Structure 1
Amino acid sequence: MRLWSLHPSLLDRAALIAGWREALLAQKVLRGQTTGYRHHPQLVRFRDGTSTAPGAPAPAPGALISAYLHGLADEADRRGYRFRRELVLARPAPDGSLTVTTGQLALELEHLRRKVSVRAPEWLAHLDRAAPHPLFVVVDGPIEPWERATA
């Protein structure tokens, strides 16, 4: 399971479609509707919900994954794909509800570049910068502690 912190516009076709499927699975896991993947490290940030608003309570995991899914669906709409938004089951958290570190974004961009260089080398031109998914606000820092991929 890979829930990219990168902006959906950076994802090639395969990553966008796989990201949608995997985020729908994450939604089921976070709602307790499946026993698989319950301890997957990619879900830590959605469960812990580090809010970017000082002193504000963190949004519920369902609202966070809903905002994540809507970000993917917005990009799918832009590309003319048909992602079924009715599968998103909660009201989304606002943009910028979670933080992501500069180190995490850099790792993910490099990870995506390696994948794209094999399956869609023409997409590499899109990967010149690491912009975050609208759900995230970037903060300085190393790779996130939940990350299992290596640089």
Structure 2
Amino acid sequence: MGYMSKEGYENLVAELQRLESIERPKASAAIAEARDKGDLSENAEYDAAKEAQAHLEDRINQMKMTIANAKIIDKSRLSTDAVQLLSKVEMTNLATNTKMTYTIVSEQEADLRAGKISIETPIAQGLLNKKVGDEVEIKIPRGILKLRIDSITIE
């Protein structure tokens, strides 16, 4: 079962509705168009359209499973005493003295451009249960990241 924010859950439901109401009919239309072009045994366009439809259906089914098993987190019950799922963590990279801010989210909600990192990442794993003022060393592919936690908030 996947824990996620109410916002993440609503975004997932909206994306599922878009896939079912817009993308699914497009996929069916592409198959029909390719079928109309003749001999299916030598029709690469038909094969590609069928494969794209299969991928779309897989994605729809995975999203339905995620939605069915989702547990929405009540943010009002979260604490800022230690880093946890949905914590917004401001920290300082001790090697470069630069500030960084990440919100720790479920795998489905991760969006690096928005500053949201998956709880599965090495950085998030290294921060979990740590407190303001703690210094942590986190092993990442490029080496060791030394961070100091400056603040923990819940948005």
> Which has the bigger relative contact order, CA under 8 A and spacing at least 6?
1
Q: Say which one has the larger Rg.
A: 2
Q: TM-score normalised to the size of structure 2?
A: 0.29
From the two aligned structures, give the one with the greater strand fraction.
2
